[in-house]
A and B are shown apart, each in its own frame.
Chain A
Amino acid sequence: KAGVTQTPRYLIKTRGQQVTLSCSPISGHRSVSWYQQTPGQGLQFLFEYFSETQRNKGNFPGRFSGRQFSNSRSEMNVSTLELGDSALYLCASSLGTSGRIEQYFGPGTRLTVT
């Protein structure tokens, strides 16, 4: 079974630009969560999607948004990039139903904002 895939793996953007990251969950998984990892703040929850609906959102500004498609693939978008948005962005997929608890992480997208 293929694992969680994320594209692109590496990205360099300039302040003020916007970026879109993509995550394809494990086949059959309906829940996708996004996390940001930085040296200063550690791993922080961004949002969770299940069946195309955002179920939960972390404490991030509105510049961070996401969506999920009918095939469970998810994208997150960051607009008006700031230097502090430089991070490793991880997505995790799970079945998303009660009792099905394993979360599997993708390889991440490393975003550098210059």
Chain B
Amino acid sequence: ELKVEQNPLFLSMQEGKNYTIYCNYSTTSDRLYWYRQDPGKSLESLFVLLSNGAVKQEGRLMASLDTKARLSTLHITAAVHDLSATYFCAVASHTGTASKLTFGTGTRLQVTL
């Protein structure tokens, strides 16, 4: 059974600082997603990573994937308050044509002034 571990669970950081969220998964997968969730809201898609060495960047967020290590990172550069949210990684698994996402526990990011 696929297990997805995310750390840290909670991250308090000052504006302007850099930090990284880690996502480890237990079995081979061909897709890894990063989502953002604001309190009381749904999931907003940030990145989809498909292949080893994939790197995607959007604004102050950069995601990378190492399929050999079964590790993805979400790097935050020069954090701003607007980035405060909970971030989830999710790993796709397939059985025949069926698929599902297994989510990490989420990292609650709080950016303080």
Contact = CB atoms under 8 A, between A and B. Distances in A.
A20 to B, nearest CB: 20
Contacts, number: 54
Contact of B101 (A45, A50, A104, A107): A45
Given A90-B43, A103-B33, A105-B43, A56 B48 contact: no
Nearest to B33: A103
A62 interface: no
Contacts of B20: none
A106 B42 contact: yes
A43 B103 CA distance: 6
Interface string B90-113: 101001111111111110000000
Contacts of A107: 41-42
Contacts of A75: none
Contact of A42 (B31, B48, B99, B105): B105
Given A43-B88, A56-B98, A58-B100, A101 B48 contact: yes
B42 A90 contact: yes
B48 A102 contact: yes
B28 interface: no
A43 B105 CA distance: 8
Interface in A37-86: 42-45, 48, 50, 55-56, 58
Contact of B31 (A55, A92, A101, A104): A101
B100 A48 contact: yes
B45 interface: yes
Contacts of A106: 42
A105 B100 CA distance: 13
Contacts of A43: 88, 90, 101, 103, 106
Given A92-B43, A102-B45, 12 more contacts: A33-B100, A42-B105, A45-B101, A48-B99, A50-B97, A55-B99, A105-B35, A105-B43, A106-B42, A107-B42, A108-B41, A108-B42
